[in-house]
């Protein structure tokens, strides 16, 4: 797993809360920093892909670790 500047654990939260929390976290970060998001909502995979396209914050990686979904987003 790549380096990240901040971690957001959105486990147990359902759509759209993981996206809303990530948006708030990214708003507090500097451009170029990386946010790691952990989610248990299977819908978050498509949600984060769409969110990153809409906001131009690159989705560096997405995958599954121990039954949880893990995303790395870079603040643009």
Q: Which domains does the chain have, with CATH numbers?
A: 6-74 (3.30.110.40)
Q: Give the model's confidence band at 2: pLDDT under 50 very low, under 70 low, under 90 confident, else very high.
A: low
**Tell me, what's the pLDDT at 45?**
96
Show the 3-state SS of the chain: CCCCCEEEEECCCCCCHHHHHHHHHHHCCCCCCEEEEEECCCCHHHHHHHHHHHHCCCEEEEEEECCEEEEEEECC
Q: pLDDT of 14-71, one tens digit each?
A: 999 999 999 999 999 999 999 999 999 999 999 999 999 999 999 999 999 999 999 9
Establish whether 52 is a catalytic residue. Answer: no
Q: Which of the following is catalytic: 4, 6, 13, 15?
A: 15
**Tell me, what's the pLDDT at 72?**
97
**Tell me, what's the pLDDT at 51?**
98
70 and 1 Cβ atoms separated by less than 8 Å? yes
**Tell me, what's the pLDDT at 73?**
98
Peptide bond into 25 cis (omega under 30): no
């Amino acid at each position: 797993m790549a380096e990240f500047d901040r971690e957001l654990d959105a486990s147990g939260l359902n759509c759209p809360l993981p996206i809303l929390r990530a948006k708030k976290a990214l708003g507090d970060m500097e451009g170029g920093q990386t946010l790691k998001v952990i989610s248990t909502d299977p819908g978050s995979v498509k949600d984060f892909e769409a969110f990153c396209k809409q906001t131009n914050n690159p989705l560096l990686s997405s995958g599954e670790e121990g039954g949880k979904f893990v995303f790395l987003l870079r603040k643009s």
